Amino acid sequence: MTPRFKPGDRVRVRADSPPGHIRTPKYVQGKTGEVAGIHGAFRNPETLAYGRDGLPKQFLYVVRFDERDLWQQYRGSPRDTLLVDVYEHWLDPA
């Protein structure tokens, strides 16, 4: 099993509202960030929540977003970033 992305890759988070349990915050959906790291591959918590086996495993990435890209009225430093854990099935190349 090989991760689809590597640190430094630009990714876009899928914008979706599927019914049920999701682990991807709404405020990053549709936004572009950069892969900062890879935690590894884990059983999918979105299906584990319903008593399924969570397979196949999904890679979990640390994605870095510029704060000003996430919040329209952001007034902090332009260097401010936010790290969010996002599963691979939510990510597309940017």
- Reported as a single tens digit per residue, the pLDDT across 45-77 is 999 999 999 999 999 999 999 999 999 899 999
Kindly state the percentage of the chain with pLDDT values over 90: 88
* Residues 30 and 16 sit within 8 Å (Cβ to Cβ): no
Mean pLDDT of 9-28: 90
Task: Look up residue 35 and give its two tokens.
Answer: 């892969």
Written as one string, the DSSP assignment of the chain is ---S--TT-EEEE-----SS---S-GGGTT-EEEEEEEEEEE--HHHHTTTS--PSPEEEEEEEEEHHHH-TT--S-TT-EEEEEEEGGGEEE-
pLDDT at residue 20 above 80?
A: no
With bands split at pLDDT 50, 70 and 90, how would you rate the model's confidence at 33?
A: very high
Mean pLDDT of 34-45: 97
pLDDT at residue 80 above 80?
A: yes
Region 10-93: CATH code? 2.30.30.50
Q: For the chain, how many residues are written?
A: 94
Each domain of the chain, given as residue ranges in start order, spans 10-93
Residue 37: its pLDDT value, please?
Answer: 98
Between 38 and 49, the higher pLDDT residue: 38
